[in-house]
Structure 1
């Protein structure tokens, strides 16, 4: 079992972007799970196709079940990827943190907008956890509701005190990852 983590847009240096969240995951998951966290191309000027290609390469390097986890733009890239490309790996869970839902008012970007119905491309038996801080000042909470409407099997978890960066992490996140990793049933995206 491996966790593929896709970071947010913007600088990813020390104490920037998703780096503190990633450190929290590494410290708390320890050796129980390998985390694959590819450096996404041009994070300060991201391109959807390039990011999906990088995610695709990370997925195809793994020959076992995976959990896909994304933060902010990284999460929306995971959903865009799964709506447009076939994934042969066994995916036992998807975890989204503060994902923008492209296409909402003030969030228009043709390259990041998902062009089809997500519930038709993601196997409904795959558990999806959508985490969003009620007071996120970068991506408003309404974005998680849009994902919940697009993905009926998703569980929405509103949190407080995490802001947009989720840099402090929280114990429930580790428990959910560990729980997903113990599932034995292999599910396929886009069968």
Structure 2
């Protein structure tokens, strides 16, 4: 049953993810977190961050990892194939016919209309991640990370993978900082 669910989830992502990997991310989130509940928001954010640091298309990387996590090696193959199968089929079918209709206004209009929809989908997902970061970091730190990341990537031109990798390393090597309340409880239990 899980193999069928994996296939259907990632096939839907593959067939509806018009515009490439970034437009697929909200669709993967909807399937994995909201519909099947294979992950929570934090786990999804971790997979997305790690996937963005690796080379290759994000949709297939996420499908591979999530498929492996849900159903092992067979799940990895199943989810990855379900993600790329629609593209393979559509490329063969559409490339044979699209050249004859590409100059029609309705085709150009359809293509132009997809861009704002994908933008809204990405903005919605970004807002959800930002709101979630408020819970763990607070508003001030979240805003500082947002502004700092924007400046590093857009003004200085730092590649997002380097920024994500640096943040992951900082989190790994950060000293264990427990809140004072947790330390007080530990001291109370020790005595």
Question: What interval of TM-score do these two structures reach, taking the shorter chain for normalisation?
Answer: under 0.3
TM-score by length of 1: 0.26
Decide which structure has greater strand share.
Answer: 1
Decide which structure has greater helix share.
Answer: 2
* Structure with the greater alpha carbon radius of gyration: 2
TM-score by length of 2: 0.26
